[in-house]
Structure 1
Amino acid sequence: EQVTSISQFSDVRPTDWAYQALSNLIERYGCVAGYPDGTYKGQRAMTRFEAAALLNACLDRVTEVTDELRRLMAEFEKELAVLKGRVDGLEAKVGELEASQFSTTTKLRGEASFMLAGSPDFTSPRLNSDGTRPADPDETTVNYDVRLSFDTSFTGKDLLRTRLRAGNFSSLPFREGVFTLDKATGTADSVNIDRLFYRFPVADSFNVTVGALVRNTEMLSFIPSAYKSDILDYFGLAGASGTYNKATGAGVGVSWRQQVEKGNPYLTFDANYVANNGFADSSIGAFSSDSGINALTQLGYRGQNWGLALGYRYGTENSSQRNANFSSRVPDGGDTNSLSIAGYWSPVDSNWIPSISLGYGYNWASGGLDDSQSWMAGLQWSDVGWAGNAAGFAVGQPPFTGGENNSMLYEIFYRFQVTDNISITPALFYADEPATNRFNDAWGGVIQTTFRF
Structure 2
Amino acid sequence: MKLFQKLLLAPAALGLLAPVAANAADVNIAGLSQYGPSSASGRAAEQVTSITQFSDVQPTDWAYQALSNLIERYGCVAGYPNGTYRGNRAMTRYEAAALLNACLDRITEVTDELKRLMKEFERELAVLRGRVDGLEARVGELEATQFSTTTKLRGQSTFVLGALNFGGTNTTSRDLYNQRQGGTTFNYDVRLNFDTSFTGTDLLRTTLRTGNFSSSGFGNGRYPWQLEAAFQECTIGYDCENTLNVNRLFYRFNASKDIVLGVGGLIRQDDLLAMWPSVYPADSILDFFTRAGAPGAYSLNLGSGAGGWLKKGDWSLSASYIAATGNAGNPSGWGRDKGGIGTRYSNATGSVQLGYQKEQWGAAALYNYTTPFDYSQVYGGGATRAAAFVPAIADSTNSFALSAYWQPSNAGLVPSISAGWGWNSSNGFSASTLPNVSYLKPVFSNWKGNITSQSWSVGLQWDDVLVKGNELGMGVGQMTFITSGIDLPATDGNYAWEWWYKLQMTDNISVTPALFYQSRPYGAVSGRRSDNPTSTFSALGGLIKTTFKF
2:391–2:426 contact (8 Å) kept in structure 1: no
Shift of 1:290: 1.2
Q: Give the corresponding residue for 2:223.
A: 177
**1:245-271 deviations in whole A, cap 9, x for unaligned?**
11100000111111x3xxxxx011100
Judging by fraction of residues, say which structure has more strand. Answer: 1
Worse overlay, 194-203 or 424-433: 424-433
**1:70-98 deviations in whole A, cap 9, x for unaligned?**
xxxxxxxxxxxxxxxxx9xx98x958x84
| Aligned pair partner of 2:273 in 220, 236, 259 | 220
Aligned-pair RMSD on alpha carbons? 3.6
1:289–1:318 contact (8 Å) kept in structure 2: no
Give 1:80-95 correspondences, 5 Å limit. 94=140
Q: Give the corresponding residue for 1:349.
A: 410
Q: Distance in 2 between matches of 1:220 and 1:168?
A: 30
TM-score, normalisation: structure 1: 0.73
2:405–2:419 contact (8 Å) kept in structure 1: yes
Pair 281,385 (structure 1): closer, same or farther in 2 beyond 3 Å: farther
| Aligned pair partner of 1:244 in 298, 303, 321 | 298
Q: Distance in 2 between matches of 1:226 and 1:162?
A: 25
| Aligned pair partner of 1:406 in 490, 493, 505 | 493
Q: Distance in 1 between matches of 2:171 and 2:151?
A: 46
Q: Distance in 2 between matches of 1:419 and 1:108?
A: 20
Structure 2, unmatched stretches of 5+, are 1-39, 44-104, 123-132, 233-238, 331-336, 430-443, 445-449, 484-489, 527-535
Q: Give the corresponding residue for 1:110.
A: 155
Shift of 1:419: 1.4
Partner SS state of residue 198, structure 1: strand
> Partner amino acid for 1:384?
V
Pair 280,138 (structure 1): closer, same or farther in 2 beyond 3 Å: farther
| Aligned pair partner of 1:390 in 465, 471, 482 | 471
1:429–1:443 contact (8 Å) kept in structure 2: yes
Q: Give the corresponding residue for 2:440.
A: none
Give 1:117-196 correspondences, 5 Å limit. 117-121=162-166, 135-170=179-214, 173-175=217-219, 176-182=222-228, 183-185=230-232, 187-196=240-249
Q: Distance in 2 between matches of 1:212 and 1:245?
A: 18
Shift of 1:134: 9.9
| Aligned pair partner of 2:355 in 293, 297, 300 | 300
> Partner amino acid for 1:184?
F
1:374–1:397 contact (8 Å) kept in structure 2: yes
Q: Distance in 1 between matches of 2:269 and 2:411?
A: 32
Q: Distance in 2 between matches of 1:215 and 1:126?
A: 38
Q: Distance in 2 between matches of 1:94 and 1:433?
A: 60
TM-score, normalisation: structure 2: 0.61
Partner SS state of residue 447, structure 1: strand
Partner SS state of residue 234, structure 1: helix
Pair 125,146 (structure 1): closer, same or farther in 2 beyond 3 Å: farther
Partner SS state of residue 325, structure 2: coil
Give 1:209-288 correspondences, 5 Å limit. 209-228=262-281, 230-258=284-312, 260=313, 266-279=314-327, 284-288=339-343
2:476–2:498 contact (8 Å) kept in structure 1: yes
Shift of 1:315: 0.4
Shift of 1:306: 0.4
Shift of 1:117: 1.1
Shift of 1:358: 1.3
> Partner amino acid for 2:227?
L
**1:396-442 deviations in whole A, cap 9, x for unaligned?**
00111244221211111111111111111111111112217935121
Q: Distance in 2 between matches of 1:279 and 1:345?
A: 39
Give 1:60-71 correspondences, 5 Å limit. none
Pair 382,287 (structure 1): closer, same or farther in 2 beyond 3 Å: same
Judging by fraction of residues, say which structure has more helix. Answer: 2
| Aligned pair partner of 2:509 in 388, 402, 422 | 422
Q: Distance in 1 between matches of 2:273 and 2:189?
A: 24
Q: Distance in 2 between matches of 1:138 and 1:204?
A: 53
Pair 122,233 (structure 1): closer, same or farther in 2 beyond 3 Å: farther
> Partner amino acid for 1:142?
F
Shift of 1:324: 2.5
Q: Distance in 2 between matches of 1:426 and 1:117?
A: 10
Q: Give the corresponding residue for 2:395.
A: 334
| Aligned pair partner of 2:519 in 419, 429, 432 | 432
1:425–1:447 contact (8 Å) kept in structure 2: yes
User: Is 2:503 the counterpart of 1:450?
Assistant: no
Q: Distance in 1 between matches of 2:192 and 2:242?
A: 15
Q: Distance in 1 between matches of 2:329 and 2:463?
A: 44
Partner SS state of residue 331, structure 1: helix
Pair 268,126 (structure 1): closer, same or farther in 2 beyond 3 Å: farther
Shift of 1:230: 2.1
1:213–1:279 contact (8 Å) kept in structure 2: no
Shift of 1:106: 0.2
**1:6-52 deviations in whole A, cap 9, x for unaligned?**
xxxxxxxxxxxxxxxxxxxxxxxxxxxxxxxxxxxxxx9789xxxx9
Pair 170,125 (structure 1): closer, same or farther in 2 beyond 3 Å: farther
Shift of 1:179: 1.4
Q: Which one has a bigger Cα radius of gyration?
A: 2
> Partner amino acid for 1:105?
T
Q: Give the corresponding residue for 1:28.
A: none
Q: Give the corresponding residue for 2:384.
A: 324
> Partner amino acid for 1:380?
Q
**1:166-209 deviations in whole A, cap 9, x for unaligned?**
01002564233331101522621110001000000101111001
2:459–2:475 contact (8 Å) kept in structure 1: yes
**1:370-396 deviations in whole A, cap 9, x for unaligned?**
310000112111111122111111110
Q: Give the corresponding residue for 1:363.
A: 424
